[in-house]
Amino acid sequence: MVPVVDVPSRERSIAAARRTGDQVHGAAPDRPATDADLSHVTGVVAIVASSRGGSSLLHQILSDQPDVLSIAGEHTALYKLNRLDRGRDGSDALEPDVEFDWTAFSRDFMSFLGSGPARPPAGAADRLRYAAVVTRRLALQWPLEEIAYATVREAVDHAVRTGARPDEPDSLFATVLHRLRVTHPRIDPSFYDLPPAFRGEASDAGLRPPHDGYCIEEPPFVVPRARTAADRGALRRHPVVIKSSVDAYRLPLLRRLMPNARIRVIHLTRNPAASVNGLYDGWRDRGFFSYDVSDRHALSIDGYSELGAAARRWWNFDLPPGWEKLVDQRLERVCAHQWAGAHRSALDTLGPDTADAVLRVPFEQLLDPATRERTLRSVFTFAGIPQPPRPVSFPVVMATARPRPARWRHRADLVLPALDQPGIREVADELGYRKGEEDRWV
């Protein structure tokens, strides 16, 4: 059955984002190279994991390396911008022959693709480039606001004139947002992946999505940073590192997106208790809204839906096949099915048809100082990325609470019984997370 979609909201949001993107493309000095598209990509490193499985951290570590091309955050927003959102069953699983405009997707992807560290917008030309990056990202985050490139340029100039440090990306962007709110007061900094000092207090205390439109980019929103844009030579020399939680359900699509690339997949696993605990926190946080599913169901999820009207409409994180059977389950059971659904799909579809090479990496080996360096060496070698000369830093990315080992144990009485469901224990066993060994899980 084809899902009924909130067409007015979805189409209005996509059309508005497209108008803003076209405007920037015609006026900005950093437009993507016209001689490069995704057919020129020669190597892809795809991080495949469940939501709250550590993929944001690993993606950031790899993206920080100088010989890597990447998009800040997930490319899920580009799927949505190109209507590659939900399959026939309403889940994130897309049919292998799904129709889409490859040229439009390629242009969108190239416009966000970059390499190297953030380039501080110190001079006038750099400020113009930074304003273009910010405008493109705002179009995905606040599509119906249609924030013009000229408006963002003025906000950037004002921020620098009034003392914002161009070499401090979070502070600079927070100052730009403050200026933009003069003409676009619905912009809410509390939905960004910013430090609390820059994020500020939410405009209201209720659980709600960032706006009334279609969430093209899902909160917490990415903080834009200007980086070196990709050209054909860079696509030939460097791997493109990508991560999206929904890719676990649509691995065959990657070959259609980048048809001439060697695809290497890092299957990142994490013990189900830690992942389910992280998902549980995320559902109850002010972010991670993915779809308004009220066109098909009113959510009655114990542990979530009592948090307000939005919690009876909005699904969080990915939509696994069979999600409609979960709309009246307890939240921890929903989260367990999300964890298992992503890994079940990866286990079933990873193979020669979808990947040229696969490396399975337990996230716990990245967290443990005793195994961290050895694990990272194997990851860099597999990805074809030069080994960094110094130990890498571990940034805090998309966290709902201060990271600490085995944080799930404070909710063990809730989380562990949720794992004893049909299909979930089997996936855990297959990934090496066996019942009776929970005392070793971190």
Q: Is residue 88 over pLDDT 90? A: yes
Residues 105-155: pLDDT tens digits?
999 999 999 998 888 998 999 999 999 999 999 999 999 999 999 999 999
Counting Cα atoms < 13 Å in the Cβ hemisphere of 415 gives 22
Percentage of the chain lying above the pLDDT 70 cut = 93
pLDDT tier at 263, thresholds 50, 70, 90: very high
| Model pLDDT, residue 1 | 39
pLDDT tier at 393, thresholds 50, 70, 90: confident
Residues 3-26: pLDDT tens digits?
444 457 999 999 999 999 999 988
- For residue 114, what are the β-bridge partners? 70, 229
Mean pLDDT to the nearest integer, 272-289: 95
Residues 27-83: pLDDT tens digits?
877 665 667 999 999 999 999 999 999 999 999 999 999 999 999 999 999 999 999
Residues 70-84: pLDDT tens digits?
999 999 999 999 999
| Model pLDDT, residue 191 | 95
Q: Is residue 230 over pLDDT 60? A: yes
Angle at 204 between CA 198 and CA 210, to 5 degrees: 70
What is the pairing mode between strands 357-362 and 43-48? unpaired
- For residue 330, what are the β-bridge partners? 302
Residues 354-368: pLDDT tens digits?
999 999 999 999 999
Mean pLDDT to the nearest integer, 298-310: 97
Report yes or no on whether pTM surpasses 0.85: yes
Q: Is residue 399 over pLDDT 60? A: no
Average pLDDT taken over every residue of the chain: 92
| Model pLDDT, residue 35 | 77
Residues 231-255: pLDDT tens digits?
999 999 999 999 999 999 999 999 9
